[in-house]
Chain A
Amino acid sequence: MQTFHKAKTAKIQTDNKSIFYPPGGILIWIIIFVELMTFSFALIAMAVLSKSNTELFHSSRQLLSTVYGTINTIVLLTSGYFMATAVQQFKKDDFRNSSRHVLFTIFFGLAFIAIKTIEYSHKLSAGIDLDYNLFFTFYWLLTGFHLLHVVLGLVILTAFYISMKKKTPTLKTEDMEAGATFWHMCDLIWLLIFPVIYLLF
Protein backbone atom coordinates (compact mmCIF):
# COMPACT_ATOMS: atom_id res chain seq x y z
CA MET A 1 0.00 0.00 0.00
CA GLN A 2 2.81 2.38 1.00
CA THR A 3 4.84 1.48 -2.11
CA PHE A 4 1.79 2.23 -4.24
CA HIS A 5 1.30 5.57 -2.45
CA LYS A 6 4.99 6.52 -2.94
CA ALA A 7 4.91 5.56 -6.62
CA LYS A 8 1.78 7.66 -7.09
CA THR A 9 3.38 10.65 -5.28
CA ALA A 10 6.48 10.37 -7.50
CA LYS A 11 4.25 10.30 -10.60
CA ILE A 12 2.41 13.45 -9.45
CA GLN A 13 5.74 15.22 -8.82
CA THR A 14 6.95 14.29 -12.33
CA ASP A 15 3.62 15.39 -13.82
CA ASN A 16 3.97 18.83 -12.16
CA LYS A 17 6.43 19.72 -14.97
CA SER A 18 3.53 19.39 -17.41
CA ILE A 19 1.61 22.60 -18.18
CA PHE A 20 -1.65 20.79 -17.32
CA TYR A 21 -0.57 19.60 -13.87
CA PRO A 22 0.74 22.47 -11.70
CA PRO A 23 1.10 21.56 -7.97
CA GLY A 24 -2.44 21.34 -6.56
CA GLY A 25 -4.01 20.86 -10.00
CA ILE A 26 -4.90 23.13 -12.91
CA LEU A 27 -8.40 23.94 -11.60
CA ILE A 28 -7.16 25.43 -8.32
CA TRP A 29 -4.60 27.55 -10.22
CA ILE A 30 -7.30 28.89 -12.56
CA ILE A 31 -9.34 29.78 -9.44
CA ILE A 32 -6.26 31.44 -7.90
CA PHE A 33 -5.65 33.64 -10.94
CA VAL A 34 -9.35 34.60 -11.16
CA GLU A 35 -9.39 35.47 -7.44
CA LEU A 36 -6.12 37.42 -7.62
CA MET A 37 -7.36 39.38 -10.63
CA THR A 38 -10.70 40.16 -8.95
CA PHE A 39 -8.99 41.52 -5.83
CA SER A 40 -6.42 43.36 -7.97
CA PHE A 41 -9.11 45.12 -10.05
CA ALA A 42 -10.76 46.30 -6.83
CA LEU A 43 -7.41 47.57 -5.50
CA ILE A 44 -6.69 49.35 -8.80
CA ALA A 45 -10.16 50.96 -8.65
CA MET A 46 -9.35 52.04 -5.08
CA ALA A 47 -6.04 53.60 -6.21
CA VAL A 48 -7.78 55.41 -9.11
CA LEU A 49 -10.53 56.81 -6.86
CA SER A 50 -7.96 57.92 -4.27
CA LYS A 51 -6.60 60.43 -6.80
CA SER A 52 -9.78 62.52 -6.59
CA ASN A 53 -10.15 61.95 -2.80
CA THR A 54 -6.52 62.24 -1.63
CA GLU A 55 -7.25 63.81 1.76
CA LEU A 56 -10.17 61.48 2.54
CA PHE A 57 -8.11 58.36 1.73
CA HIS A 58 -5.12 59.62 3.73
CA SER A 59 -7.14 60.51 6.84
CA SER A 60 -9.12 57.25 6.62
CA ARG A 61 -5.96 55.17 6.26
CA GLN A 62 -4.63 56.83 9.44
CA LEU A 63 -7.63 55.31 11.28
CA LEU A 64 -6.33 51.79 10.50
CA SER A 65 -3.83 50.07 12.76
CA THR A 66 -0.74 48.96 10.80
CA VAL A 67 0.20 46.90 13.88
CA TYR A 68 -2.98 44.78 13.57
CA GLY A 69 -2.30 44.41 9.85
CA THR A 70 1.33 43.38 10.42
CA ILE A 71 0.42 40.90 13.18
CA ASN A 72 -2.17 39.36 10.87
CA THR A 73 0.45 39.10 8.10
CA ILE A 74 2.81 37.29 10.51
CA VAL A 75 0.01 34.98 11.72
CA LEU A 76 -1.12 34.08 8.18
CA LEU A 77 2.43 33.52 6.87
CA THR A 78 3.17 31.31 9.89
CA SER A 79 0.07 29.25 9.14
CA GLY A 80 1.37 29.00 5.55
CA TYR A 81 4.69 27.64 6.85
CA PHE A 82 2.90 24.94 8.86
CA MET A 83 0.73 24.05 5.86
CA ALA A 84 3.75 23.71 3.55
CA THR A 85 5.45 21.48 6.15
CA ALA A 86 2.26 19.40 6.52
CA VAL A 87 2.22 18.72 2.76
CA GLN A 88 5.90 17.69 2.76
CA GLN A 89 5.27 15.26 5.64
CA PHE A 90 2.11 13.93 3.99
CA LYS A 91 4.12 13.07 0.85
CA LYS A 92 6.54 11.11 3.06
CA ASP A 93 3.54 9.17 4.48
CA ASP A 94 4.22 10.72 7.90
CA PHE A 95 0.49 11.22 8.61
CA ARG A 96 0.97 11.73 12.36
CA ASN A 97 3.27 14.76 11.97
CA SER A 98 1.31 15.99 8.97
CA SER A 99 -1.97 16.05 10.91
CA ARG A 100 -0.17 17.85 13.80
CA HIS A 101 1.00 20.55 11.39
CA VAL A 102 -2.48 20.85 9.87
CA LEU A 103 -3.72 21.44 13.43
CA PHE A 104 -1.13 24.24 13.91
CA THR A 105 -2.29 25.73 10.59
CA ILE A 106 -5.90 25.69 11.83
CA PHE A 107 -4.80 27.32 15.11
CA PHE A 108 -3.09 30.21 13.29
CA GLY A 109 -6.06 30.54 10.93
CA LEU A 110 -8.35 30.90 13.95
CA ALA A 111 -5.90 33.44 15.45
CA PHE A 112 -6.18 35.48 12.22
CA ILE A 113 -9.99 35.48 12.54
CA ALA A 114 -9.77 36.46 16.23
CA ILE A 115 -7.45 39.43 15.51
CA LYS A 116 -9.65 40.51 12.59
CA THR A 117 -12.73 40.31 14.83
CA ILE A 118 -11.04 42.59 17.40
CA GLU A 119 -10.10 45.04 14.64
CA TYR A 120 -13.64 44.98 13.20
CA SER A 121 -15.24 45.49 16.62
CA HIS A 122 -13.01 48.55 17.25
CA LYS A 123 -14.08 50.01 13.93
CA LEU A 124 -17.78 49.30 14.50
CA SER A 125 -17.73 50.74 18.03
CA ALA A 126 -16.21 53.93 16.55
CA GLY A 127 -19.13 54.05 14.08
CA ILE A 128 -16.92 53.13 11.11
CA ASP A 129 -19.11 50.82 9.02
CA LEU A 130 -19.50 49.99 5.31
CA ASP A 131 -21.19 53.34 4.55
CA TYR A 132 -18.74 55.51 6.56
CA ASN A 133 -16.89 56.70 3.45
CA LEU A 134 -15.49 55.42 0.14
CA PHE A 135 -12.21 54.19 1.64
CA PHE A 136 -13.98 52.14 4.30
CA THR A 137 -16.43 50.67 1.76
CA PHE A 138 -13.38 49.20 0.01
CA TYR A 139 -11.84 48.23 3.36
CA TRP A 140 -14.90 46.29 4.56
CA LEU A 141 -15.56 44.60 1.21
CA LEU A 142 -11.98 43.55 0.48
CA THR A 143 -11.02 42.41 3.98
CA GLY A 144 -14.48 40.85 4.47
CA PHE A 145 -14.27 38.74 1.29
CA HIS A 146 -10.74 37.72 2.24
CA LEU A 147 -12.01 36.65 5.67
CA LEU A 148 -14.67 34.49 3.97
CA HIS A 149 -11.88 32.72 2.05
CA VAL A 150 -10.02 32.09 5.32
CA VAL A 151 -13.20 30.60 6.87
CA LEU A 152 -13.69 28.33 3.83
CA GLY A 153 -10.00 27.32 4.02
CA LEU A 154 -10.44 26.39 7.68
CA VAL A 155 -13.43 24.18 6.81
CA ILE A 156 -11.28 22.35 4.21
CA LEU A 157 -8.37 21.97 6.66
CA THR A 158 -10.68 20.64 9.39
CA ALA A 159 -12.00 18.01 6.95
CA PHE A 160 -8.35 17.07 6.15
CA TYR A 161 -7.51 16.77 9.84
CA ILE A 162 -10.51 14.51 10.51
CA SER A 163 -9.62 12.38 7.48
CA MET A 164 -5.96 12.03 8.59
CA LYS A 165 -6.98 11.01 12.11
CA LYS A 166 -8.80 7.94 10.77
CA LYS A 167 -7.08 4.56 11.19
CA THR A 168 -6.65 4.28 7.42
CA PRO A 169 -6.39 7.83 6.01
CA THR A 170 -8.46 8.22 2.84
CA LEU A 171 -7.02 11.60 1.87
CA LYS A 172 -5.19 11.62 -1.49
CA THR A 173 -1.98 13.56 -2.19
CA GLU A 174 -3.72 15.55 -4.96
CA ASP A 175 -6.51 16.61 -2.55
CA MET A 176 -4.00 17.56 0.14
CA GLU A 177 -2.02 19.65 -2.38
CA ALA A 178 -5.18 21.33 -3.72
CA GLY A 179 -6.39 22.21 -0.20
CA ALA A 180 -2.96 23.53 0.77
CA THR A 181 -2.82 25.61 -2.43
CA PHE A 182 -6.22 27.12 -1.55
CA TRP A 183 -4.91 27.98 1.93
CA HIS A 184 -1.79 29.63 0.47
CA MET A 185 -4.07 31.60 -1.87
CA CYS A 186 -5.44 33.29 1.29
CA ASP A 187 -1.82 34.30 2.10
CA LEU A 188 -1.37 35.70 -1.41
CA ILE A 189 -4.61 37.72 -1.31
CA TRP A 190 -3.69 39.14 2.11
CA LEU A 191 -0.16 40.02 0.89
CA LEU A 192 -1.85 41.90 -1.99
CA ILE A 193 -4.41 43.71 0.18
CA PHE A 194 -2.12 44.68 3.08
CA PRO A 195 0.28 47.20 1.44
CA VAL A 196 -2.46 48.95 -0.54
CA ILE A 197 -5.08 49.35 2.22
CA TYR A 198 -2.83 49.69 5.29
CA LEU A 199 0.28 51.44 3.94
CA LEU A 200 -0.15 53.16 0.58
CA PHE A 201 -2.47 56.15 1.11
Chain B
Amino acid sequence: MKVIYVWILLMVLTAATLSLNYFNVSPILIFVFFSVKFLLVSFQFMELNKAHVFWKASIVMFVSIINSIILLI
Protein backbone atom coordinates (compact mmCIF):
# COMPACT_ATOMS: atom_id res chain seq x y z
CA MET B 1 0.00 0.00 0.00
CA LYS B 2 1.34 3.45 -0.87
CA VAL B 3 2.27 5.49 2.20
CA ILE B 4 0.09 8.42 1.09
CA TYR B 5 -3.02 6.18 1.26
CA VAL B 6 -1.94 4.98 4.70
CA TRP B 7 -1.59 8.61 5.83
CA ILE B 8 -5.09 9.48 4.49
CA LEU B 9 -6.57 6.47 6.31
CA LEU B 10 -4.76 7.51 9.53
CA MET B 11 -6.20 11.04 9.24
CA VAL B 12 -9.73 9.70 8.69
CA LEU B 13 -9.42 7.38 11.72
CA THR B 14 -8.05 10.21 13.90
CA ALA B 15 -10.96 12.49 12.94
CA ALA B 16 -13.40 9.62 13.52
CA THR B 17 -11.92 8.98 16.98
CA LEU B 18 -12.48 12.64 17.94
CA SER B 19 -16.09 12.60 16.73
CA LEU B 20 -16.78 9.31 18.56
CA ASN B 21 -15.58 10.97 21.75
CA TYR B 22 -18.00 13.90 21.27
CA PHE B 23 -20.93 11.50 20.80
CA ASN B 24 -19.94 9.46 23.88
CA VAL B 25 -19.71 6.23 21.88
CA SER B 26 -18.43 3.07 23.60
CA PRO B 27 -14.67 3.12 24.31
CA ILE B 28 -14.41 -0.26 22.55
CA LEU B 29 -14.78 1.46 19.17
CA ILE B 30 -12.14 4.07 20.15
CA PHE B 31 -9.72 1.24 20.97
CA VAL B 32 -10.55 -0.59 17.73
CA PHE B 33 -9.59 2.58 15.84
CA PHE B 34 -6.44 2.91 17.98
CA SER B 35 -5.46 -0.68 17.10
CA VAL B 36 -5.94 -0.11 13.36
CA LYS B 37 -3.83 3.08 13.50
CA PHE B 38 -1.12 1.35 15.57
CA LEU B 39 -0.91 -1.57 13.12
CA LEU B 40 -0.94 0.72 10.05
CA VAL B 41 2.06 2.66 11.42
CA SER B 42 3.89 -0.58 12.36
CA PHE B 43 3.25 -2.50 9.16
CA GLN B 44 3.35 0.29 6.57
CA PHE B 45 5.49 3.16 7.93
CA MET B 46 7.91 0.87 9.84
CA GLU B 47 7.80 -1.74 7.05
CA LEU B 48 7.01 -4.59 9.43
CA ASN B 49 5.10 -6.19 6.53
CA LYS B 50 8.55 -7.11 5.14
CA ALA B 51 9.71 -8.66 8.43
CA HIS B 52 9.69 -12.24 9.72
CA VAL B 53 6.31 -13.52 10.95
CA PHE B 54 7.65 -13.50 14.55
CA TRP B 55 7.79 -9.66 14.56
CA LYS B 56 4.39 -9.34 12.89
CA ALA B 57 2.79 -11.72 15.39
CA SER B 58 4.52 -9.99 18.34
CA ILE B 59 3.14 -6.55 17.51
CA VAL B 60 -0.39 -7.89 16.83
CA MET B 61 -0.31 -9.81 20.14
CA PHE B 62 0.96 -6.74 21.99
CA VAL B 63 -1.91 -4.54 20.73
CA SER B 64 -4.50 -7.24 21.44
CA ILE B 65 -3.25 -7.85 25.00
CA ILE B 66 -3.01 -4.14 25.90
CA ASN B 67 -6.48 -3.41 24.48
CA SER B 68 -8.02 -6.34 26.31
CA ILE B 69 -6.40 -5.47 29.67
CA ILE B 70 -7.35 -1.76 29.56
CA LEU B 71 -10.92 -2.47 28.43
CA LEU B 72 -11.42 -5.25 30.98
CA ILE B 73 -10.25 -3.13 33.97
| Residues of A in contact with B (beta carbons under 8 Å apart) | 13, 16-19, 22-24, 29, 33, 36-37, 40, 43-44, 47-48, 50-51, 66-67, 70, 73-74, 77-78, 80-81, 83-85, 87-88, 177, 180-181, 184, 187-188, 191-192, 194-196, 199-200
Contacts and interface: CB of A to CB of B under 8 A. Distances in A.
B70 A200 contact: yes
Given A66-B21, A199-B30, A22 B48 contact: yes
A191 B37 contact: yes
Contacts of A48: 73
Contact of B62 (A18, A19, A36): A36
Contacts of A181: 46
Contacts of B51: 16-17, 22-23
A17 B52 contact: yes
B60 interface: no
10 contacts: A16-B52, A73-B14, A81-B45, A83-B45, A84-B44, A85-B3, A192-B66, A194-B34, A200-B30, A200-B70
Given A70-B18, A77-B41, A187-B45, A84 B62 contact: no
A136 B44 CA distance: 34
A22 B45 contact: no
Contact of B50 (A23, A44, A70, A83): A23
A181 B10 CA distance: 18
Given A81-B45, A195-B30, A13 B50 contact: yes
Nearest to A37: B62
